């Protein structure tokens, strides 16, 4: 069974419950929404960058404006290039462990497995960077100095993190 | 207190715990008392070593240790606009209504007040120090202060001398400046249970051994006092560049048995040092208030101090002996204090200090300033710009330009990340019952 629980301009949250034999398995997905404007701008930046490079290579005219346009367009393409992450998932298997998955648009998936015995406590944490503050969900692990972030690449809003935190609390007790 | 009178205050300064000093103590104790009065208080400071991010201290006081590294004398690098995104985020997510900056020397304070004013918040500034008018550093600082105070809701000074100094330096109208003195935690600074014998008189000095604190004056005063009064012994607590001069003086006059050098004293140990003596000696050359005098008086010590800055306003005449910052006059004042000692009762002095100086009273008076600030009219950028233009022929235009750019950057941030997209933080509720779910309010607020 799947149900979309929350959504905003950047992310959507889905909670999947298995049925039958795997009924206990609990999957929480945070999916990145594609921004059409962002994709258009990144492709536009890339196109202008390629045009400027082609102009420089074919005509072999090394002028300040062409170098400047290459740098600007490359920066634009780089900054606006949509994140390669498609979604991040938390697969909770009670009495067994938690699997943290990162899905890329390329199809590549990276997984991290944390045994249930190693989880001391899941915590909702406020992260402060030099420019902003955001909520994060982390695991306090036994015999580890540092917290393990549940969503390593994404920064979903707290209303999407709370149900995952609740599920992790229930599984780790 | 009705709901409308409950404020949401952001205290901003580069100076906060784990650093120790007058400003740090002031922010901490004031915040604690404001929390008790039912207000919400959040502190914003820079990161100290690996202490960064959000920390909660006593009574749920929330502290944002922003990961901006200090570059000079515990101050963050002045960037004008670098702190705008984080300041805006904190102001929005904590639903702040008043921004209270502390200390003229704090870069973070000036920048946060500038951003808060741009965003239309009411701002208060507390000045904790006295500054000169002649040297390059003071001229620069006074211009920065003039910029910050040009468009401030209210200002607070810790003494009348400090108020006069601030008004002269910044050009702010005196009507907008309130005087609220510092206080002392009398519970922490209590006298020794048993009164010390006066057979041997111990004079205590606890301060940073720097020029401003009159360390050079001590070098001349101590040998003279030791020569005139054979039953006097000195205990010097503190460290700094002038410690070497004191060590040399001790060697020169062979006073090793009569002058004890303790080195740096942790704040938790200050009381135990104070109660081991009879007289507290303060030799500062400039001081807006001097909390050290209050701490000493609370411990029942008679104070001898230089008559500088706001010091004469701090204690009643029978609890302090004042002298000019001159070695001869200081020695004379110490002699006078020694003769007064038999009439001093430390416990009576402590009781008087309890009545005279309380942080609760400071908080109540600060609350009045907040109420005043909130009653002031809201103005847009065009109405506020002329105030900056009055700051000087060239400086005024520069200040105006800085504010215009800040306003444009803020509007740009509003487009990039609208205030509605910044998640508001639920208020922390301290639980008495350990079986209660500490995240329940949080979860209910979000579900």
Q: Are residues A92 and A140 in the same domain?
A: yes
Residue in B with minimal Cα distance to A130: B67
Look at A158 and B423 and tell me if their CB atoms are within 8 Å. Answer: yes
Sign of CA dihedral B163, B165, B168, B170: negative
Asked whether the beta carbons of B359 and B185 are under 8 A apart, the reply is: yes
Asked whether the beta carbons of B313 and B159 are under 8 A apart, the reply is: yes
CA A96 to chain centre: 25
- Enter the CATH code of domain B3-183+360-421: 3.40.50.2000
User: Which residues of chain B lie closer than 8 angstroms to A159, CB-CB?
Assistant: 446-447
Q: Are residues A50 and A117 in the same domain?
A: no
How far does A130 lie from chain B, in Å, by closest CA?
5
Q: Which two tokens stand for residue A120?
A: 């001391």
Residue in A with minimal Cα distance to B93: A133
Q: Are residues A76 and A95 in the same domain?
A: no
Look at B85 and A124 and tell me if their CB atoms are within 8 Å. Answer: no
Decide: helix, strand or coil at residue B42. Answer: strand
Interface of B with A (CB under 8 A): 52-54, 64-68, 82, 85-86, 89-90, 93, 421, 423, 425, 439, 442-443, 446-447
Q: Look at residues A80, A104, A139 and tell me which one is the last residue of a structural domain.
A: A80
Kindly give, in sequence order, each residue whose CB lies less than 8 Å from that of residue B190, ignoring residues fewer than 6 positions away: B271, B298, B299, B350
Strands of the sheet with A109-115, listed across from one edge: A2-7, A11-17, A26-32, A85-93, A97-104, A109-115
Residue scoring higher pLDDT (B305 or A132): B305
Q: Are residues A108 and A65 in the same domain?
A: no
Cis peptide before B271 (omega within 30 of 0): no
User: Which residues of chain B lie closer than 8 angstroms to A133, CB-CB?
Assistant: 54, 64, 86, 89-90, 93
DSSP state of B310: T
Q: Tell me which residue range forms the domain holding A97.
A: 2-34+84-172
Decide: helix, strand or coil at residue B48. Answer: strand
Pairing of strands A97-104, A85-93: antiparallel
User: Which residues of chain A lie closer than 8 angstroms to B82, CB-CB?
Assistant: 130
Measured between alpha carbons, how far is B400 from B292 in angstroms, rounded to an integer?
40
Residue B358's CB is within 10 A of a number of other CB atoms, namely 17
Mutate to test the interface with B, among A130, A161, A170 (most CBs of B within 10 A): A130
Asked whether the beta carbons of B157 and B362 are under 8 A apart, the reply is: no
Tell me the per-residue pLDDT of A138-165, one tens digit each, with 9 for 90 and over. Answer: 999 878 777 888 997 788 888 789 899 9
* pLDDT attached to residue B14: 93
Q: Shortest CB distance from A128 goes to which of B54, B423, B442?
A: B54
Cα Rg of chain A (Å, integer): 21
Kindly give, in sequence order, each residue whose CB lies less than 8 Å from that of residue A173, ignoring residues fewer than 6 positions away: none
Q: Are residues A94 and A11 in the same domain?
A: yes
Q: Are residues A109 and A126 in the same domain?
A: yes
The CATH fold of domain B201-357: Rossmann fold (3.40.50)
Look at A128 and B425 and tell me if their CB atoms are within 8 Å. Answer: no
Domain positions in chain B are 3-183+360-421, 201-357
Asked whether the beta carbons of B339 and B315 are under 8 A apart, the reply is: no
Look at B439 and A124 and tell me if their CB atoms are within 8 Å. Answer: yes
Q: What percent of chain A has pLDDT over 90?
A: 5
Measured between alpha carbons, how far is B216 from B398 in angstroms, rounded to an integer?
41
* pLDDT attached to residue A37: 67
* Mean pLDDT (chain A, rounded): 76
Asked whether the beta carbons of B45 and B63 are under 8 A apart, the reply is: yes
Q: Do domains B3-183+360-421 and B201-357 have the same CATH topology?
A: yes
User: Which residues of chain A lie closer than 8 angstroms to B53, CB-CB?
Assistant: 126-128
Q: How confident is the model at residue A171 (pLDDT cuts 50, 70, 90)?
A: confident
* pLDDT attached to residue A110: 84
Q: How confident is the model at residue A83 (pLDDT cuts 50, 70, 90)?
A: low
Measured between alpha carbons, how far is B370 from B122 in angstroms, rounded to an integer?
9
Asked whether the beta carbons of B19 and B47 are under 8 A apart, the reply is: no
How far does A131 lie from chain B, in Å, by closest CA?
5
How far does A68 lie from chain B, in Å, by closest CA?
25
Asked whether the beta carbons of A135 and A125 are under 8 A apart, the reply is: yes
Kindly give, in sequence order, each residue whose CB lies less than 8 Å from that of residue B165, ignoring residues fewer than 6 positions away: B127, B130, B131, B157, B288
Look at B446 and A158 and tell me if their CB atoms are within 8 Å. Answer: yes
Asked whether the beta carbons of A48 and A73 are under 8 A apart, the reply is: yes
Q: How confident is the model at residue A68 (pLDDT cuts 50, 70, 90)?
A: low
How far does A153 lie from chain B, in Å, by closest CA?
19
Residue scoring higher pLDDT (A73 or A62): A73
User: Which residues of chain B lie closer than 8 angstroms to A131, CB-CB?
Assistant: 85-86, 89
Q: Are residues A48 and A124 in the same domain?
A: no
User: Which residues of chain B lie closer than 8 angstroms to A135, CB-CB?
Assistant: 423
Q: Are residues A99 and A163 in the same domain?
A: yes
Q: Are residues A122 and A98 in the same domain?
A: yes
* pLDDT attached to residue B1: 46
Tell me the per-residue pLDDT of A21-59, one tens digit each, with 9 for 90 and over. Answer: 555 777 888 888 766 665 676 667 777 767 777 666 676
DSSP string over B138-207: HHHHHHHHHHHHTT-SEEEESSHHHHHHHHHHH---GGGEEE------TTTS---SSPPPSSSEEEEEES
Q: Are residues A105 and A116 in the same domain?
A: yes
Q: Are residues A76 and A99 in the same domain?
A: no
* pLDDT attached to residue A65: 64
Q: Are residues A88 and A64 in the same domain?
A: no
Chains A and B form CB pairs within 8 A to the count of: 48
Q: Any idea which residue has 């309380």 for tokens?
A: B358
Measured between alpha carbons, how far is B385 from B399 in angstroms, rounded to an integer?
9
Interface of A with B (CB under 8 A): 8-9, 124, 126-135, 157-159, 162, 165-166
Question: pLDDT of chain B along its 447 residues, tens only?
Answer: 444 457 989 999 999 978 878 899 999 999 999 998 999 899 999 998 888 899 898 889 999 999 976 877 778 888 889 999 999 999 998 989 999 999 897 989 999 999 998 999 999 999 898 878 887 888 878 888 888 888 888 899 999 899 988 998 888 889 889 999 989 888 989 999 877 788 888 999 999 798 878 999 899 899 989 988 998 989 999 989 998 989 889 888 898 888 988 899 897 889 999 999 999 999 999 889 888 989 999 999 999 999 899 999 889 988 999 999 989 999 989 998 998 888 888 989 899 898 888 998 899 889 999 999 988 887 888 888 888 887 888 789 889 989 899 999 998 888 878 897 888 888 766 644 444 444 444 444 444
* Residue/partner pairs of B109-112 with CB below 8 Å, 24 or more apart: B109/B12, B109/B13, B109/B14, B110/B78, B110/B144, B110/B147, B110/B148, B111/B78, B111/B79, B111/B80, B111/B82, B111/B83, B111/B84, B111/B87, B112/B10, B112/B12, B112/B44, B112/B83, B112/B87
Q: Which two tokens stand for residue B216?
A: 């050079």
Pairing of strands B320-323, B302-306: parallel
Measured between alpha carbons, how far is A147 from B139 in angstroms, rounded to an integer?
48
Give the count of domains, chain A.
2
């Amino acid at each position: 069974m799947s149900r979309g629980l929350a959504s905003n301009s950047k992310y959507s949250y889905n909670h999947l419950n298995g049925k039958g034999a795997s009924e206990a398995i609990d999957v929480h997905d945070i999916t990145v929404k594609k921004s059409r404007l962002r994709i258009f701008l990144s492709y536009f930046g890339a196109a202008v960058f390629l045009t400027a490079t082609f102009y420089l290579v074919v005509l072999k005219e090394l002028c300040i404006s062409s170098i400047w346009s290459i740098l600007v367009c490359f920066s634009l393409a780089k900054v606006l290039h949509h994140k390669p992450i498609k979604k991040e998932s938390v697969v909770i298997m009670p009495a067994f462990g938690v699997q943290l998955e990162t899905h890329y648009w390329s199809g590549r998936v990276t997984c991290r497995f944390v045994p249930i015995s190693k989880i001391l406590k899941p915590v909702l944490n406020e992260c402060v960077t030099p420019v902003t503050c955001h909520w994060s969900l982390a695991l306090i692990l036994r015999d580890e100095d540092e917290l393990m972030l549940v969503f390593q690449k994404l920064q979903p809003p707290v209303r999407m993190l709370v149900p995952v935190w609740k599920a992790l609390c229930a599984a780790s007790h | 207190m009705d709901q409308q009178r409950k404020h949401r205050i952001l205290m901003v300064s580069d100076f906060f715990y784990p650093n120790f000093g007058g400003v740090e103590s002031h922010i901490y104790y004031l915040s604690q008392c404001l929390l008790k009065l039912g207000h919400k208080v959040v502190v914003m400071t820079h990161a100290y070593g690996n202490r960064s991010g959000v920390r909660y201290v006593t009574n749920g006081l929330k502290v944002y240790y922003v990961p901006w590294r200090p570059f000079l004398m515990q101050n963050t690098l002045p960037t004008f606009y670098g702190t705008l995104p984080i300041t805006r985020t904190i102001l929005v997510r904590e639903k702040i209504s008043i921004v209270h900056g502390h200390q003229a020397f704090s870069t973070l304070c000036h920048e946060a007040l500038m951003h808060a004013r741009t965003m239309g918040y009411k701002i208060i500034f507390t000045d904790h120090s006295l500054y000169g008018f002649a040297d390059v550093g003071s001229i620069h600082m006074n211009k920065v202060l003039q910029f910050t105070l040009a468009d401030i809701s209210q200002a607070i000074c810790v003494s009348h001398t400090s108020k006069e100094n601030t008004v002269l330096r910044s050009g702010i109208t005196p009507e907008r400046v309130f005087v609220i003195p510092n206080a002392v935690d009398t519970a922490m600074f209590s006298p020794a249970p048993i009164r010390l014998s006066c057979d041997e008189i111990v004079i205590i000095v606890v301060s940073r051994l720097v020029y401003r604190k009159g360390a050079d004056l001590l070098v001349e005063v101590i040998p003279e006092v030791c020569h005139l009064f054979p039953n006097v012994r000195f205990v010097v607590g503190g460290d700094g560049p002038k410690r070497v001069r004191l060590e040399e003086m001790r060697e020169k006059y062979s006073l090793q048995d009569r002058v004890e050098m303790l080195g740096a004293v942790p704040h938790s140990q200050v009381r135990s040092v104070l109660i081991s003596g009879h007289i507290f000696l303060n030799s500062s050359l400039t001081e807006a208030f001097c909390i050290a005098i209050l701490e000493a008086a609370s411990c029942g010590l008679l104070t001898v101090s230089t008559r500088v800055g706001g010091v004469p306003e701090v204690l009643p005449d029978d609890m302090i002996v004042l002298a000019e910052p001159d070695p001869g006059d200081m020695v004379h004042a110490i002699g006078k204090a020694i003769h007064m000692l038999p009439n001093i009762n430390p416990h009576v002095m402590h009781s008087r200090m309890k009545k005279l100086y309380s942080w609760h009273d400071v908080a109540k008076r600060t609350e009045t300033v907040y109420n005043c600030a909130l009653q002031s009219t809201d103005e847009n950028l065009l109405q506020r710009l002329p105030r900056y233009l009055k700051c000087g022929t060239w400086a005024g235009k520069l200040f105006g330009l800085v504010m215009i750019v800040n306003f444009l950057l803020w509007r740009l941030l509003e487009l990039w990340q609208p205030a509605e997209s910044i998640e508001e933080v639920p208020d922390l509720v301290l639980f008495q019952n350990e079986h209660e779910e500490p995240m329940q309010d949080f979860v209910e607020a979000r579900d």
